[in-house]
Structure 1
Amino acid sequence: MDGGPGAAGRDTGRDAGRPEERRGSLRAALGGLTTRGRSFLAAGLAATVCAYVLGQGDLLRVGVLLTALPLVCVAVLHRTRHRVAASRRLSPARVPARDEARVHLRLDNVSRLPTGLLMLQDQVPYLLGPRPRFVLDRVEPGGRREVSYRVRSDLRGRYPLGPLQLRLADPFGMVELTRSFSAYDTLTVVPRTEALPPVRLVGEAGGRGEGRRRSLAMAGEDDVIPRGYRHGDDLRRVHWRSTARHGELMVRREEQPRKPHCTVLLDTRRTAWAGSGPDSAFEWAVSGAASVAVHLLERGYAVRLLTDTGVPVPGPEGGTLDIGSPDTTGLLLDTLATVDHSGEPGLSRAYEALGGTGGGPEGLLVAFLGVMDEEQTVLARRMRQRARGALLFVPHGLRDPEDEEERLRVLREAGWTVLPYVPGDALSDLWRRADRSGGAIGRAG
């Protein structure tokens, strides 16, 4: 089977051929005798001893037959069990939580002899469901068999699949040998993302190119770098001083808009969240952060994902991702698939990591924060000063209502657009409410 994302290479598991390995393998084969095989072997040995003592030739032949039959089955199974190749393919290898993925198993008989009865069992974490088992009656020489099963998890994470175990049995049921392959694959269960409406963020209409126009104005007329006139250029952009200097029509260069930036901040402090499981407030926040980041990437933003530890998601430019980067969305979702609670006492590292651009405020800041005490509320107020627009999603009902309302009032007065939520709320509805608030979300410049 061709390799690829989520595909395991062929795993034949052939022995190296050293004498001690062959002896150990033969002992393992003898240990695979079933109750029937051991009974035949014991009966054959007993008949042989009795025939020798009593001098009965016919009984001796019966004893030899009973003894030889399980031993021959051991020998045949021992020779053929190392000539079976297996491979695995995941479809897809990255799946949202609560969605199903299909695992395809392929078994090839690469020996010159047909196999007996085979039973396949794949090792699967209990969170993905029961261990799948398949029975294959007979595989001809050079033949192949393909089977598949489905896995599903409500919890995000990275789950190993494998190694595949193969149990071989002879037609007489004398021997059963279990063989474990070495290859395994990893299924990545990423947080579910919700499609968000393309709302108009405050300041977005006139934001593109504004910083560029400002820098041109500050540079002065003499510092403008012109270019030659092209057919279709607006004559109002002709730079007459450069035209006189070069003896041909020169125009000002087009104003290049700066790429909008956004920082998505996810609070992972263990003390900031209550409850666990797929329906907890923390899992809602992780899913919300993924949805917002993917949505803004699709809208052309350069997105940075930051946690309370102050470490951004690995990206090509200091953790900043944009839609032009290879597999940008996959990198973002893979990181959020494994994010867990941290032991950070507060948000100070996240505040330091925000920093601002060139000493000034950054663009849009979208934060998913948990429960905050007075100190963390002060830090959140200071974070607002490092962004041109700020949107805050905060869980509702995790602390005393009066104290919670006071904290939210302080943050609103600082300029945050605060949107309380409870697990199960639709993020798209909250996103529309943020647009209708009309004041606090600004686009990065």
Structure 2
Amino acid sequence: MSAGGTGRAEAGRGGRSGVRTALAGLTTRGRSFLAAGVAATVCAYALGESDLLRVGLLLTVLPLVCATVLYRTRHRVAGSRRLSPARVPAAGEARVHLCVENVSRLPTGLLMLQDRVPYVLGPRPRFVLDRIEAGGRREVSYRVRSDLRGRYRLGPLQLRLSDPFGMCELTRSFSAHDTLTVTPRVVPLPPVRFGGEARGYGDGLQRSQALAGEDDVIPRGYRYGDDLRRVHWRSTARHGELMVRREEQPQRARCTVLLDTRGVAFEGAGPDSAFEWAVAGAASVLVHMLERGFTVRLLTDTGSAVPGEGADGFAGAGRGAAETAGLMMDTLAVIDPSDGTGLSRAHDALRGGGEGLLVAFFGDLDEEQAAVAANMRRCSGGAVAFVLDSGTWLREPAGVPGPSDRSGECLRVLREAGWTALGVERGASLEELWRLADRERTGAAAASGGEGA
């Protein structure tokens, strides 16, 4: 749950424009009473009817008095909004809780509460609240849902106050707003083991701690709160100050998820497009690898890494996995197709990054870009590629015979370079493709006499 914005609105303010503001807030009923009162007064004066004159004056004065009293009475109303949760996956629901509190000494009249939400999240919610006593509060809630990932602004909250007779209404807005983040859908993936992961996979964190011996000890100065059992007495005697052990982890489980965001590589738009499938696939792999103890990085064709912690861009192992996953999901929630046309920047970013698993989601690849992608295999210990043929995604499902000739040629080039490459057709399941990639990798390793799973 996240605490939303709070604000305060006042129903009345002084000033020379008070009369104009009050008259502008007259409702249809108030304007009708005023018009009828003026007409009755004129007719009474022309006909000399004193009874009609009294009725006309009453009809005229009533809406004016209601407008003046409502405008002059300073109703101080505080409002707050709370999202539960503030980050949801696509097609998931979030609940918005609104709280209105009367902080003045006078009770309010009838209130209409309205919150501004983007049309993607659903219809604009409206609530009618009975009078709120002095110091009282009212709580209401509504649900929002979006099939499209993104970051959406909720607010500001609007209040309409009216007098007991319904003659006048005043609208006040709060200044605070909140942001709802809709992330890509994450598909649970089965645990498999690809080639190149033995250099830091699965329980690599535990194994690295077990393998760290005396030669891996790097002493550092004692800090308040360090466990005294970690004091390294030999270094303490040599440096003349208290030193503690700090073991390195020689084996780091690493994974790079490469997302091709080139606009020329994808066609179509919407939640069922090839680009959205690639984004959701990258999000699923990132979450899966973080849950398995990997340190991960998200790389795009522009060469930028997210979150980019440290010199190598990897982050997320240990206690910061949840925070890293949230940061990456926030990035993927707003990622759009880029203006780039090549993968050379991503290839340069992979150089010198160390061995580890590389999982790539490619769009359409021409001959030149397929060669660049094939060379990326040399920068990783294991490589898995999902190639989306955008042309098949624009056809009807029943008319999709399989990958196009160009897509098949790209897969051949990648496989010859050592990739475990799979074509992705419209409606394909990432979970099944993930298992298929493992079987193909295992079969290729068995055929070549290489290492098994």
Provide closer, same or farther for how the CA distance between residues 434 and 39 of structure 1 changes in structure 2, counting only shifts above 3 A.
same
> What residue is the counterpart of 1:84 in the other structure?
77
The structure-2 alpha-carbon separation of the partners of 1:55 and 1:198, relative to structure 1 and needing over 3 Å to count, comes to: same
Among residues 331, 350, 355, which one is paired with 1:335 in the alignment? 331
Q: Is 1:111–2:91 an aligned residue pair? A: no
Contact persistence 2:11–2:74 (CA under 8 A): no
Gaps (5+ residues) in structure 2? 219-245, 393-402
**Partner in structure 2 of residue 321 of structure 1:** 315
Q: CA deviation at 1:417?
A: 0.5
Q: CA deviation at 1:37?
A: 1.0
Structure 1 Cα separation of the partners of residues 90 and 3 of structure 2? 17
Structure 1, gaps ≥5 residues long = 217-222, 228-252
TM-score (ref. length: structure 1): 0.81
Contact map agreement 1:80 1:115 (CA 8 A) in 2: no
Corresponding pairs, count: 399
Please list the CA deviations of residues 51-89 of structure 1 after superposition, one character each: whole Å capped at 9, or x if unmatched.
556665544433332222111211222134641111111
Range with bigger deviation, 75-84 or 153-162:
75-84
Deviates more, 1:136-145 or 1:40-49: 40-49
After TM superposition, the score normalised by the length of structure 2 is 0.80
2:5 aligned partner: 8
Query: Is the alpha carbon distance of 1:26 and 1:199 closer, same or farther for their aligned partners in structure 2, counting shifts above 3 Å?
Result: farther
How big is the alpha-carbon RMSD for the aligned residues of Structure 1 and Structure 2?
3.1
How far is 1:205 from its partner? 4.7
Is the 1:8–1:87 Cα contact (8 Å) retained in structure 2? yes
- Percent of aligned pairs with the same amino acid: 64
Provide the C-alpha distance between the structure 2 equivalents of 1:255 and 1:74, rounded to a whole number of angstroms. 74
Deviation larger for 70-79 or 186-195: 70-79
Cα distance change on mapping 1:352 and 1:15 into 2, 3 Å = farther
The 1:317–1:5 alpha-carbon spacing in structure 2 relative to 1, beyond 3 Å, is: farther
2:259 pairs with 1:266: yes
Alignment partner, residue 415 of structure 2: 412
Aligned residue for 1:239?
none
Q: How does 1:8-407 map to 2 (within 5 A)?
A: 8-9=5-6, 11-14=7-10, 22-24=15-17, 26-49=19-42, 57-80=50-73, 82-205=75-198, 224=215, 256-318=249-311, 319-323=313-317, 324-325=319-320, 327-357=323-353, 361-396=354-389, 398=391, 401-407=404-410
Q: How far off its partner does 1:403 sit?
A: 2.2
Separation in 1 of the partners of 2:30 and 2:75? 21
Q: Deviations over 1:220-263 (max 9, x none)?
A: xxx95789xxxxxxxxxxxxxxxxxxxxxxxxx98943212111
Aligned AA for 1:413?
A: E
**CA distance in 2 between partners of 1:61 and 1:364 (Å):** 89
The question of whether the paired residues in 2 share the 8 Å contact of 1:259 and 1:300 is answered with no
1: CA distance, partners of 2:47 / 2:391: 87
Q: Look up the match of 1:236.
A: none
CA distance in 2, matches of 1:327, 1:24: 52
Q: Secondary structure at the match of 2:4?
A: coil
Cα deviation code 1:381-403 (max 9, x no counterpart): 11111111111011146277222
Deviates more, 1:157-166 or 1:256-265: 256-265
Letter in 2 for 1:338: V
Residues 255 and 7 of structure 1: CA distance in aligned 2, closer, same or farther (over 3 Å): closer
Q: Cα gap change, 1:311/1:335 in structure 2, threshold over 3 Å: closer, same or farther?
A: same
Per the alignment, do residues 212 and 379 of structure 1 end up closer, same or farther by CA in structure 2, a change over 3 Å counting?
Answer: same
Deviating more after overlay: 345-354 vs 370-379:
345-354
Counterpart of 2:222 in structure 1 is none
